[in-house]
Homo-oligomer: A and B are copies of this chain.
Amino acid sequence: MTGASSRLPAAARAIVDGDRRVLARTITQVENGDPAADRVVRSLYGRSGRAPVVGLTGPLGVGKSSLVNALVGRLRSLGQTVGVIGVDPSSPFTGGSVLGDRIRLERRADDNGVFFRSMASRGAAGGVAATTREVSRLLDAAGFDVILVETVGSGQVDVAIRDIASTSIVVVVPHLGDEVQTLKAGLFEIADIFCVNKVDLPGAELAKRDLAELVTLGGRASAWAPPIVGTSTVEPTGIDELWNDVMAHEKFLDSSGERLRGERQRLSSEIVGLARDHIGRELTLRLERDPSLRHLLDEVVARRIDPRTAADRLVTGGRRAR
Contacts and interface: CB of A to CB of B under 8 A. Distances in A.
A322 B279 CA distance: 14
Nearest to A288: B268
A272 B303 contact: no
A288 to B, nearest CB: 8
Nearest to A160: B124
Contacts of A296: 271
A297 to B, nearest CB: 6
Interface string A116-129: 00000100111000
Interface string A176-196: 001001101110010000000
A89 B304 contact: no
Given A186-B91, A300-B267, A301-B267, A308 B274 contact: yes
Interface string A86-98: 0011110110100
Interface string A44-66: 01101100000000001100000
Interface string A13-41: 00000000000000000000000001001
Contact of A314 (B157, B272, B301, B307): B272
Given A89-B186, A155-B154, A306-B46, A276 B280 contact: yes
A155 B91 CA distance: 11
A1 interface: yes
A275 interface: yes
A47 to B, nearest CB: 8
A273 interface: yes
Nearest to A315: B275
Interface in A235-286: 260, 263-264, 267-280, 283-284
A287 B268 contact: yes
Given A45-B303, A314-B272, A90 B264 contact: no
A288 B271 CA distance: 12
Contacts of A314: 271-272, 275
A272 B267 contact: no
A287 B272 contact: yes
A310 interface: yes
B271 A280 contact: no
Interface of A: 1, 38, 41-43, 45-46, 48-49, 60-61, 88-91, 93-94, 96, 121, 124-126, 153-158, 178, 181-182, 184-186, 189, 260, 263-264, 267-280, 283-284, 287-288, 296-297, 300-301, 303-312, 314-315, 318-319, 322
Given A91-B189, A272-B314, 17 more contacts: A38-B308, A45-B303, A46-B304, A89-B155, A89-B156, A89-B185, A90-B181, A90-B185, A96-B181, A96-B184, A124-B126, A125-B156, A155-B158, A271-B297, A271-B307, A272-B284, A279-B279
21 contacts: A1-B304, A89-B155, A91-B186, A93-B184, A94-B181, A124-B124, A153-B154, A153-B182, A263-B301, A264-B301, A267-B307, A268-B297, A269-B284, A271-B297, A271-B300, A271-B310, A272-B287, A275-B283, A275-B318, A276-B276, A278-B312
